[in-house]
Amino acid sequence: MQFLQDAPQFLFFTGKGGVGKTSVACATAVTLAGQGKRVLLVSTDPASNVGQVFDVVIGNTITAIEGVPGLSALEIDPEQAAEAYRERIVGPVRGLLPDKELASITEQLSGSCTTEVASFNEFTAFLADPAVYGGYDHVLFDTAPTGHTVRLLQLPGSWTDFLQSGKGDASCLGPLAGLDKQRSTYAAAVEALKDPTRTRLVLVARAQTSSLKEIERTNDELGEIGIHATHVVINGVLPPEAGDEALAAAVRARETAALTAMPAGVATLTRDVIGLRPTNMVGLPALRSLLSNDTVDASEDAGAAALEVTLPGPLAALVDEIEKGEHGLVLCMGKGGVGKTTIAAAIAVELAHRGHPVHLTTTDPAAHLEETLHGSVTGLRVSRIDPLEATREYRDRVLATKGKNLDEAGRRNLAEDLLSPCTEEVAVFQQFSKAVHESRREFVVIDTAPTGHTLLLLDAAGSYHRDVARQMGDAMAYTTPLMRLQDPTQTKVLLITLAEPTPVTEAEVLQQDLERAGIHPWAWVINNSLLAARPESPFLQVRAQNEVDQVARVESLSDRVAVVPLLSDEPVGVERLGSIVTGQVVPV
C-alpha cells in the first residue's frame, strides 16, 4: 500500500461513516507494529468499534493490544468528551442563572461542533506535547477534525466577550467560550496537522459517487486552511471472487463508473484500492489480510443460512399507513450516502400513483430526480431547495444586520460562526417551512430536514415558533412549523440507514437528537440490503450474513421497519423507484 510508504509520525484517516476508516486504521496499525514500530491508535469515531475489532476492552485508557507487540490503542468517546466539556462550562454558573437560561446554554453546547471541539481537545496532546507523542514512532487517528473545527480554533480575539456581547447567534461559537487558556496548545496541534513531514492525511472512500464527493468536500475544506491530503484509499471494491451473477456484475459496473468519474480534486492523489472481504474485519488474521492482495475464499455454505432469516416487510407497508392520512408531511432523514433522496422519491411516486397530489422537495444538489420525474407522473410536483443559495442569502442578511456595526475582528468571528453546519440547516429550514404548511392539504415528502439540535437552537434563540407564541398569547389558536413537526398525526419522520454498524449508530444518535426536540421518528428504512436481495454466490451470501445483527438492532430501536433490497441497477426512473416500494428486484 502506497499510503504506508515512508509514513510520517502522524497518520489521519478520514471519510464519511461506513466506508471502513476504522478497519483501514486498525490494519495499518497492525502492519506498522509488525515492522517493529511503536504504534498508538487513537479513535474519535462516534461509532468506534476498535475494541471489538481487537476483541479487547479499550475505552479512554491507553491499552496494549495482546498479540501485537508494540501496538496500543485508545478510544475517545466523543459524547462523553462533549458531556464533560459542557459541564466544565455550565457547572460554574449552575445555581447562579435561571433554569431557562441554563437550558439555552446547554442546548447551544449540544451540537456537532461541540462534539468535534471536545474530541479535538482530548487528542491535542498527542499532536502538541512531545512528552506524550515522543514515545511512539507512529500515532494513528481514526477520524480527523473538519476544516471548520480547525478554523474555529484559529479564530482571533476573545470568543467569550464576543458571545456575551450578543454579536453572534446561538450556533457554533458557543463551544469555544472556555478555550482561551489553551490557545498555545491548539496552535501547536494545528501546526503539526499542516506539516506534511509530520502528518499524512489519508482520505478513505468507497467506490460510490456520494462517498467520493464527500471526500472531495473534506479535501477542499481542509485545503483552505493549509492541511492537504496526499493519499486516497478506495475501500471495499467488489473482487472477482464475488462471482458473475447479475447483482455482482451490476455492482461492478456502478463502481467502475464512479471511479471513472472521480472528482478532479481527489483523482490526482496517490491511490490505493482495497478489495471487499466476505467477512467483517474482526480479529488479527482478518486485519493482517486487509492490506494484502491475497485472494479470499468464501465457503460454499457459510452464508447460506443468512438467506433463511425473516426480514421486515417492504416499503409498501409504510406507504399504506402513510396513505391513510390522505395528506401530511413525510420527512426522510439520515446521514449522507444512505439513499434518503431515492427513498423520498419512491414514496412520492407511489403516493402519486395511488391518486394523491404530492409535492416532493429535496436538497439534493444533483437534480436528476427533477429531470427523471418532471411531467412523467400525474399528480406529482417536484421542487429543489438549493442549500448553498439559501445559506448565502442567510449569511449576507445576518452580516448586513448583526455585523453592520462590528469591528474587523468581530465581523471575522461572525463570518466564521455563519459557516457552521447549523447555519445551513437554519437557512434551509426557512424554505422548508413553506412546504410544511402545504402538508395541510396534500402529501409533502421532504428529503433531508433539520436536526433536533437545530430546531432547539431556533427555539432557544427566539425562533419563529417562539415569536408566534409570544405574539398570539392565549387569544388565538396557532400552529407553527415546529408544532407541526412534533405532531405524529401530521408528520411522519423516516430514518434511512444501511445494515452496517456505523450508519445504524449514526441514525440512532439522530433519533435521540430529534427526541430532545419532541419529535419521535415514526419508522426506520434499511436501504440497499444485500440480505434482502438474496444473492447466489457464496461470497455475497457471507456478506449478507453480516447484516443479520444490524437488522435485529434496528428492529430493537423502532416498532416500524421496512427493508429495501440492493437493486441490480441504479434506482432512477419511475419503474425502478416502484421496485423500491414493493421490494421486488427488477432484472437488469
Could you count the other beta carbons within 10 Å of the beta carbon of residue 286? 18
User: Which stretches within 35-68 are classed as H helix?
Assistant: 50-54
Q: Which amino acid is at 433?
A: S
**Catalytic residue status for 21:** yes
**Catalytic residue status for 473:** no
**Catalytic residue status for 18:** yes
Distance CA 572, CA 306 (A): 29
Distance CA 362, CA 469 (A): 29
Q: Which of 28, 44, 45, 505 is catalytic?
A: 45
Distance CA 500, CA 362 (A): 25
**Catalytic residue status for 22:** yes
Q: Which of 104, 362, 502, 529 is catalytic?
A: 502
CA 31 to centroid of chain Cα atoms: 28
Cα torsion 546, 548, 549, 550: sign = positive
**Catalytic residue status for 20:** yes
Distance CA 32, CA 23 (A): 14
Q: Which of 15, 17, 20, 583 is catalytic?
A: 20
Q: Which of 14, 15, 17, 22 is catalytic?
A: 22
**Catalytic residue status for 502:** yes
H or E stretch at 200: strand 199-206
Is beta strand 523-529 parallel, antiparallel or unpaired with respect to 71-75? unpaired
Distance CA 266, CA 163 (A): 38
User: Which stretches within 480-546 are classed as H helix?
Assistant: 481-486, 501-516, 530-533, 538-545
H or E stretch at 498: strand 491-498
Is beta strand 39-43 parallel, antiparallel or unpaired with respect to 138-142? parallel
- CA distances, 517 to each of 67, 305, 367, 488, 510 (Å): 46, 41, 31, 13, 11
Distance CA 424, CA 263 (A): 23
Cα torsion 316, 322, 328, 329: sign = negative
Q: Which of 23, 63, 115, 568 is catalytic?
A: 23
Cell of 435: 412546504
Q: Which of 16, 21, 335, 340 is catalytic?
A: 21
Which residue is it, cell 416532493?
360
Contact 278, 537 (CB under 8 A): no
Contact 199, 231 (CB under 8 A): no
Q: Which of 15, 17, 18, 178 is catalytic?
A: 18
Distance CA 229, CA 563 (A): 37
**Catalytic residue status for 23:** yes
Contact 18, 498 (CB under 8 A): yes
**Catalytic (active-site) positions:** 18, 20-23, 45, 502
